[in-house]
């Protein structure tokens, strides 16, 4: 049983990525979620006085696994990543998938397969700590492009996240919130909670402040990709009797050309 909370240190890197260091004070175990920018990760570790012990990869894209080998060579860290992409993740040591768990010191992450953005994407849910690292599966008011998966797969993946407690903090990999918000307004114009949230997002971004983390509860109220059952959205799309997957697919199609 852990005596100290899981520390999360978030920092921006590259053009619009966020990177996260996770630290268990009791054991010194320290993980980075994905490896988009080695110098930025090294600077963050130095600033906190932490030693990297693990890399937790969500998927194989270069801005998520591109720094794996350099960091492994420098630190000897253990690389954890998705079973379904183990041949595409550089330096992977431990392959995990749906139903598996991983212990970072005294903190346990449950692993969920969330194919859609890529065929083997996974997310890490530290349930007792109330935090989850969702990579490019879910964004604030958005979701990942379907590069390797189908709308059916992605809707099934997102549905796994919807059952988590509403106060779960969601840490995604990119600052896409403002553009996602503008699209959300076009799909869900009657949503007063969305309108209020957009005002807050515009204020934060005008001051160059992060809009991440978000929460499950907030996303359920304002993220159109999680609301295919909403009557207002269905009316706007002229899909009142379609199933949720079909509505989700149309929302994703419209976002791709927005």
Q: Residue 70: its pLDDT value, please?
A: 97
Output 112 or 3, whichever has higher pLDDT.
112
Among residues 23, 60, 64, 125, the one annotated as catalytic is: 64
**pLDDT-based confidence at residue 109 (cuts at 50, 70, 90):** very high
Position 118 confidence tier, pLDDT thresholds 50, 70, 90: very high
Catalytic residue among 23, 54, 59, 125: 59
Q: To the nearest whole percent, how much of the chain has pLDDT over 90?
A: 98
Distance from C-alpha of 256 to C-alpha of 183, rounded to nearest angstrom: 10
Active-site residue flag, 64: yes
Give the active site residue among 24, 113, 136, 188: 136
Q: Cβ(142)–Cβ(154) under 8 Å?
A: no
Q: Is 174 annotated as catalytic?
A: yes
Candidates 23, 60, 61, 121; catalytic one: 61
| 83 burial type by CB count under 10 A (0-12 exposed, 13-18 middle, 19+ buried) | middle
| Mean pLDDT value across residues 60-72 | 96
Report the DSSP pairing between strands 30-33 and 17-23.
antiparallel
Marked catalytic residue, from 23, 37, 174, 188? 174
Residue 89 has pLDDT above 90, yes or no: yes
Name the DSSP letter for residue 84.
G
Is residue 157 within 8 A of residue 113, CB to CB? The reply is yes
Residue 3 pLDDT class (50, 70, 90 cuts)? confident
Binned at pLDDT 50, 70 and 90, residue 69 comes out as very high
- Based on the residue annotation, tell me whether 63 is a catalytic residue of this protein: yes
Is the bond into 103 cis (omega within 30 degrees of 0)? no
156 in catalytic set: no
Domains and CATH numbers, the chain: 7-172 (3.60.15.10), 177-256 (no CATH)
Q: What is the per-residue pLDDT across 156-182, written as a single tens digit (0 to 9) for each?
A: 999 999 999 999 999 999 999 999 999
- Higher-confidence residue of 91 and 1: namely 91
Closest to 224 measured CA to CA, from 209, 240, 244: 244
**One of 60, 117, 121, 125 is an active-site residue; which one?**
117
Render pLDDT for 132-154 as a digit per residue (tens, 0 to 9): 999 999 999 999 999 999 999 99
Specify whether 117 is catalytic. yes
- Is the pLDDT at 1 greater than 90, yes or no? no
Q: Is 93 a catalytic residue?
A: no
pLDDT digits (tens, 9 = 90+) for 33-57: 999 999 999 999 999 999 999 999 9
Is 107 designated active site? no
Active-site residue, selected from the candidate residues 63, 113, 129, 188? 63
How many C-beta atoms lie closer than 10 Å to residue 4's C-beta?
13
DSSP state of 118: S
Backbone angles phi and psi of 180, in degrees to 5: -65, -40
Q: What is the pLDDT of residue 4?
A: 87
């Amino acid at each position: 049983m852990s005596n100290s909370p899981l520390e999360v240190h978030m920092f921006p890197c590259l053009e619009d990525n966020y990177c996260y260091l996770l630290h268990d004070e009791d054991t010194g175990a320290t993980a980075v979620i994905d490896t988009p920018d080695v110098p930025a990760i090294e600077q963050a570790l130095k600033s906190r006085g932490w030693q990297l012990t693990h890399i937790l990869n969500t998927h194989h894209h270069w801005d998520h696994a591109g720094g794996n080998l350099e960091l492994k060579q420098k630190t000897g860290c253990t690389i954890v990543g998705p079973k379904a992409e183990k041949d595409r993740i550089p330096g992977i040591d431990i392959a995990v998938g749906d139903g598996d768990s991983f212990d970072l010191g005294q903190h346990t992450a449950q692993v969920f397969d969330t194919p859609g953005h890529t065929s083997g994407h996974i997310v890490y849910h530290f349930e007792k700590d109330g935090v989850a690292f969702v990579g490019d599966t879910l964004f604030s008011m958005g979701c990942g492009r379907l590069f390797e998966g189908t709308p059916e797969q992605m809707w099934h993946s997102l549905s796994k996240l919807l059952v988590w407690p509403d106060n779960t903090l969601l840490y995604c990999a990119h600052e896409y919130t403002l553009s996602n918000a503008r699209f959300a307004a076009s799909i869900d114009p009657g949503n007063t909670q969305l309108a209020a949230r957009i005002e807050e997002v515009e204020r934060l971004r005008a001051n160059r402040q992060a809009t991440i983390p978000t929460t499950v509860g907030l996303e359920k109220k304002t993220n159109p990709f999680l609301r295919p059952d909403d009557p207002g959205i269905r009316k706007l799309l002229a899909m009142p009797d379609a199933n949720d997957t079909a509505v989700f697919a149309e929302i994703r199609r419209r976002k791709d050309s927005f």
